[in-house]
Amino acid sequence: MTEQKEVKKSDLKTVAESAQKTKSRDEEIPKDNIVEMSNGIVFRVKEVPQAAFVDLRGSFPEPTPPVHYNKDIGREETNVNDPRYKAQLADWEISISAGMIDIQIIFGVEVVSVPDNMINYDDPDFHDLLKVILGRMGWKREDINDLGKTEKMLLWVKYYAAKGSVGGESDFSKLLLAIGRRSGVPEEDVKTAVDNFQG
């Protein structure tokens, strides 16, 4: 007869806590993957292909710290405290975080309904709004006119449909967290991207 390992009380508690965490996360996923914004716009969230995040990371190579010769130790070493490197690293982190947010919206959002009193991303009124917003950011008129459907939808979600700032209890954060849960992205990773995006 084989000896059975005695189940410890602490093991049971750990397993129960893990199961509860999984159950809570599953309960947070919206029914039918529907998320409604406070302005009445309704989205369906979809799974984001993980390869998109990998490709994004490959598109933005992480900066490397400069190397200098340290005569005290007689060899070269990296200088992670170099001010230019620190600035490049901060810019890189913001670019990656902004890219992650954009990928989640592009792949993870489908418009279900827009109330009659709101404008949609393909509405000429939204294009006029973009001319003002992007013009103030230094965009050229021809670049704004060349925006495709996907780019307009992305900007519509970010600037119009999902109210509030990145982080906290805003509609935008609610939408990003729902996409992350649907895609199996750990909530901590979504929050890290949001925090980096905020600077």
Burial of 108 (0-12, 13-18, 19+ CB in 10 A): buried
Tally of structural domains, the chain:
1
Query: Looking at the domain assignment, is residue 23 inside a domain?
Result: no
What is the average pLDDT value for the chain, to the nearest integer? Answer: 82
Write the pLDDT tens digit of every residue in 31-85.
678 999 999 999 999 999 888 888 888 888 899 999 888 888 888 888 899 999 9
Phi/psi-derived region of residue 148, left when phi > 0, alpha when psi is between -120 and 50, beta in every other case: beta
Query: Looking at the domain assignment, is residue 15 inside a domain?
Result: no
Query: Looking at the domain assignment, is residue 151 inside a domain?
Result: yes
Query: Looking at the domain assignment, is residue 6 inside a domain?
Result: no
CA-CA distance, 52 to 174, in Å (whole number)?
21
Q: Where are the alpha helices (DSSP H) in 29-165?
A: 50-59, 83-108, 124-136, 141-145, 149-156
Query: At 136, is the pLDDT very low, low, confident or very high (cuts 50, 70, 90)?
Result: very high
Please tell me the pTM assigned to this model: 0.71
Query: Looking at the domain assignment, is residue 87 inside a domain?
Result: yes
Query: Looking at the domain assignment, is residue 26 inside a domain?
Result: no
Could you list the residue range(s) of the whole structural domain that residue 187 is in? Answer: 34-198
Query: Looking at the domain assignment, is residue 185 inside a domain?
Result: yes
Q: Which residue has 């979809």 as its token pair?
A: 46
Query: Looking at the domain assignment, is residue 172 inside a domain?
Result: yes
